[in-house]
Amino acid sequence: MNPKKITALIIAWFVLASAISFSGESTDILLYQRVDELMREKNFTDARALLERMIKKNNSDYVALAALGEIYAEEGNRKKAIKFVKRSININPEYPFSHFLLGRLYFLTQNEKKAVEEFNLFKEKTLSLLNIMDQDDRELYLARLQYICEAYFNMKISDEYKMAVDAMLFVDPKNQTAAYNMGVYYYVFGHNRPKAYEYFKKAKEIEPSTYIGKKAEYAIDFIRNNPDTRIAPDFSFLDRE
């Protein structure tokens, strides 16, 4: 996916699906696009100032509130980030990205129970939008699900981890990262080396030359060469280079 589209997609397809307008002016989308540009440039000062003006104009602008929360999160002010994201959810609880942001913030503040609740709401609210998503939208959703997988892996919550991987495979049955993640699930949590081998093999076959393909090959070789189930490879990286 083109990284320039990420924030714009967050604004566009979730807002479109919510069927809730802002000020009704055609300039709204242009302002969100400008916020997108500023955030990609890491110019959080100007992005925050623009969002604050937008919220002053329309204090029910849940997208701007969520984006402002994201900026505070990027700057390390998690308490303030949670405040603004919660305001966004109070205005429109159907807006999925706010739930993802809040789940991420709870994960980062080690509130595992609430993180799981918000991540599940994100998945639930997004599911109804799948039929209107284009390929870029789906890739964005998959990227968010991958983050959730990594969070659950780090929290050692096996059932939720598998459900997040299942959600990835539901969106794209041939997704290489999801196949690899499922291999990790069966090896680390399920203690089922044959199933782990099966999914690592699937991941490798999808595209052997990619980073994930090479990691899958490493996992396959490890299983072949290490019959002792007490020995585990380092899966902490997941798909991170």
Q: In this prediction, what percent of the chain has a pLDDT beyond 70?
A: 85
Q: Quick: pLDDT tens for 134-169.
A: 888 888 899 999 999 999 999 999 999 999 999 999
Report the distance separating Cα 234 and Cα 225, nearest Å.
Answer: 15
Structural contact between residues 100 and 117, judged by C-beta atoms closer than 8 angstroms: no
For range 186-212, the mean pLDDT: 95
Report the distance separating Cα 146 and Cα 240, nearest Å.
Answer: 11
Structural contact between residues 203 and 180, judged by C-beta atoms closer than 8 angstroms: yes
Weakest-pLDDT range from 3-7, 37-41, 99-103: 3-7
Q: Which two tokens stand for residue 41?
A: 């440039």
Residue 211 scores a pLDDT above 80 = yes
CATH class of 3-132: mainly alpha
Weakest-pLDDT range from 8-17, 141-150, 182-191: 8-17
Q: Give 236's pLDDT tier (boundaries 50, 70, 90).
A: low
- Name the pTM for this structure: 0.85
According to DSSP H, which parts of 109-134 are helical? 112-127
Q: How far is CA 36 from CA 8, 68, 72, 90, in A?
A: 6, 12, 15, 23
Which pLDDT does position 18 carry in this prediction? Answer: 42
- For the chain, the domains span 3-132, 162-241
Report the distance separating Cα 189 and Cα 69, nearest Å.
Answer: 34
Quick one: angle between helices 96-108 and 78-91, nearest 10? Answer: 150
Which pLDDT does position 51 carry in this prediction? Answer: 94
